[in-house]
Amino acid sequence: MKTLMFGAAALATVATGFAIPAPSFAQSTTQSEIVVFGTDPCPRSSDSEIVVCRRLPESMRFRLPEAYRPNGSPQERTSWANKARTLQNVGSVGVGSCSAVGPGGYTGCLTQEIQQSKQAAKQQQTQSTAPEQ
């Protein structure tokens, strides 16, 4: 009768979730994640190490990782120094300023147009050049 009572008590503790879990054995294996490109072989796993290979095409071998690739529009990638440089001549008047105020204000207009066209051509060339593979 005592055995039946003890068994019922043990069953009640397991059913309610108060049972003590069995000790687990520590795993001595480590896991490595490796990126392989093209037809490169994946390193073999050993007893103490698990190797997980992620295969990418050969064209991705020398590309920048996605975290380091520039993103956004060219306007978003422009540095603050270049943005400040465009504001450098705002409000200037006189000779070489390309303004209608003051004597000789028109003299800087040609220089300004030349600089803008050079910058636009350079920007067009960088946008139309395909990345090397």
pLDDT at 56: 92
| Average pLDDT over the chain, rounded to an integer | 75
Parts of the chain with a pLDDT under 70: 1-27, 89, 102, 105-106, 131-133
pLDDT at 11: 46
Residue written as token pair 């003590």: 20
Structure-token pair, residue 48: 């103490």
pTM of this prediction exceeds 0.85? no
pLDDT at 26: 52
Distance CA 131, CA 133 (A): 6
Distance CA 24, CA 83 (A): 61
Distance CA 70, CA 27 (A): 41
